[in-house]
Amino acid sequence: MDRPAEEAVPGIPPEPLLRALVAVSADGLAVLDGQGRFALVNAAAADVLGVPADGLIGHPAPFAVHDADPAAPGDHRRRVVWPTPDGRRRDLEYRLAPLGDGRYAAWFSDVTDGLRQQERLTAITRAAASVADAGSLRTTLDAVATEIVMTANIAAVQILAIDDPRDELRVLGMAGFGDAADFVERLSACRRLGAHVRFMDAIQEREPVVVPNRKPAILADPAWAPLHAIMDYPDWDGFVSTPLIVRGRTIGVINAYYVPGEDPGPHSLAFLQAMADHAAIAIDIAAHLARTRSQAQSDERRRLARDLHDSVVQQLFSMRMQAEALRSQVDSRDADPERIRGRARELAELSGTALADLRGLVFELHPLELAERGLVDAVRAHAASLEARGALVVDVEAPSELAPELAIEVQEDLYRIAQEALHNVVKHARARAVRVRFALVDGALSMDVTDDGCGVDPGARPAPAGRRPRPTLGLVSMRERAERWGGRLVAGPHPDGGWSVRVTLPAAGRVREMTSR
């Protein structure tokens, strides 16, 4: 059987016990009158609300007493915002219980820091997902900036990149501002007028710069006049600039503009540092991809130059020799008409072959048919150029409804995969025929390149004993092109003989979403 309340702690009367518990509580405890005003508060309540206890008595409480359920002891937890005298906004969680005489007991706690930390962790997670699933750099960093602004205490954000402090900035991400398309030009005008640009300090010192009450100082400084219109909105006060550092090099900053009354604390600065790390990684990845593409283009030009030398140049040299021989025969007094006709036929054949090779190389350099006729016809044109050279027979199959809305970037990567696969067949597979087959299954696009050759990886070098063969550069390149659009590439022996390369891309809607980022 339960003890009566007065016997709960033997030897201690209930009233002193209750007062002691109220005094030591870290949460706010209060008694509210029937009008919802503070009638009694403990010391923790005054600390939470930022107002002395005697200043609270008789003051309206922020709690909705008229919505409290008298039949529910302890009511349920609710949340309310309390503006402190120094202009801060605190999130309070509270609970009410009727006392039976028209008054209410109130429990409340400051949950601001916990909510902010939860918001920051969510923003960090989403930013990491944006970077991992990155499309265009501007879209990715706009998403990172938006995640930062979605936290409660930051009004606006800019993500700026700079290669050298003497160079112009690039705005790579922005959220919270209105029309700021000419921000960089206006900032340059401010610098020429002598404005002290504090985020340049963050870049040079490689440390966060925290400036309270920054907005009033900017709006009062004539040197900042070109940016007054942009800086006046949204409502903000404090400023923090966090450098973006990757591999020991500062490549930009995140500028955060805090709402009035929200000075950045250690948790907020740590949050900005985490977001700066994500932004720096995104910029570094984009720069690496640009270098990789540039290197790939250089490699492609060198390959085309080699192919040009190995095929067309050699054929032109042979044509010149044939032409000289033909001229000698024509000039000869005992010229044999049949031999002259034979030389002429050989010269015509050489010129036809050279023309076909030259057209093929030009097509590889810039497949105009992609933009003009689409993926399937471009592959058919390339197949025709291979057949014209007598390389092998190429059959291209495709349904009539094949995803015509695919972006040109996706079509080009698929074309390059087909081109590389066919090149490998011609060069290594000892095949007589190859089939290129396009198909749509549940919205997913697949392309198979299957030959009737020797059934080994074209171009693969024998692996040392006990080791698996390393994938060829061509296979790696094809796989990267497929994975760029969320696809998958598989290569291996075909069950019916020969070798097969199969690439599958997700549903067309998903590919369009990736290309639009």
126 and 201 co-located in one domain: yes
- For residue 359, is pLDDT > 80? no
375 and 436 co-located in one domain: yes
Q: What are phi and psi of 43, to 5 degrees?
A: -65, -35
Please report, rounded to a whole number, the percentage of residues in the chain having pLDDT higher than 70: 78
* CA distances, 60 to each of 33, 69, 200 (Å): 10, 19, 47
Distance of CA 122 to the CA centre of its chain: 16
- For residue 482, is pLDDT > 80? yes
- Does residue 273 sit within a domain? yes
Last residue of a domain, one of 88, 110, 132: 110
pLDDT at 130: 56
Point out the least confidently predicted range of 210-224, 386-400, 462-476.
462-476
> Distance (Å, rounded) from C-alpha 475 to C-alpha 421?
8
- For residue 75, is pLDDT > 70? no
- For residue 167, is pLDDT > 70? no
404 and 448 co-located in one domain: yes
Point out the least confidently predicted range of 231-235, 265-269, 362-366.
362-366
402 and 267 co-located in one domain: no
Query: How many Cβ atoms are within 10 Å of 407's Cβ, its own excluded?
Result: 15
**Dihedral angle over CA of 314, 315, 319, 325, nearest 10:** 60
- Does residue 64 sit within a domain? yes
Mean pLDDT, to the nearest integer, of 288-303?
73
> Distance (Å, rounded) from C-alpha 193 to C-alpha 146?
31
Look up the CATH number of the domain holding residue 178. Answer: 3.30.450.40
- Does residue 466 sit within a domain? yes
pLDDT at 129: 58
What average pLDDT does the structure give for the chain? 79
Point out the least confidently predicted range of 101-110, 219-228, 503-512.
503-512
pLDDT at 451: 92
74 and 103 co-located in one domain: yes
- For residue 145, is pLDDT > 70? yes
254 and 121 co-located in one domain: yes
Mean pLDDT, to the nearest integer, of 101-130?
74
- Does residue 342 sit within a domain? no
- Does residue 355 sit within a domain? no
pLDDT at 391: 65
- Does residue 322 sit within a domain? no
264 and 165 co-located in one domain: yes
> Distance (Å, rounded) from C-alpha 37 to C-alpha 57?
7
Domain extent for 195? 115-279
- Does residue 298 sit within a domain? no
172 and 91 co-located in one domain: no
511 and 475 co-located in one domain: yes
- Does residue 219 sit within a domain? yes
pTM for this prediction: 0.48
* CA distances, 26 to each of 45, 48, 81, 423 (Å): 8, 9, 19, 75
| Helix, strand, coil tally for the chain in percent (to 5) | 50, 20, 30
Mean pLDDT, to the nearest integer, of 236-250?
92
Greater confidence (365 vs 496) lies with 496
Last residue of a domain, one of 89, 110, 131: 110
162 and 27 co-located in one domain: no
99 and 124 co-located in one domain: no
Task: Give the pair of three-digit tokens for residue 258.
Answer: 């805090």
Look up the CATH number of the domain holding residue 516. Answer: 3.30.565.10
pLDDT at 292: 75
Look up the CATH number of the domain holding residue 101. Answer: 3.30.450.20
The top-scoring range by mean pLDDT among 109-118, 295-304, 351-360 is 109-118
Residues in the chain: 517
261 and 393 co-located in one domain: no
- For residue 134, is pLDDT > 60? no
Last residue of a domain, one of 110, 144, 172: 110
Query: How many Cβ atoms are within 10 Å of 12's Cβ, its own excluded?
Result: 13
| pLDDT tens, position by position, 361-383 | 666 655 556 666 788 988 998 88
pLDDT at 228: 94
The structural domain count of the chain equals 3
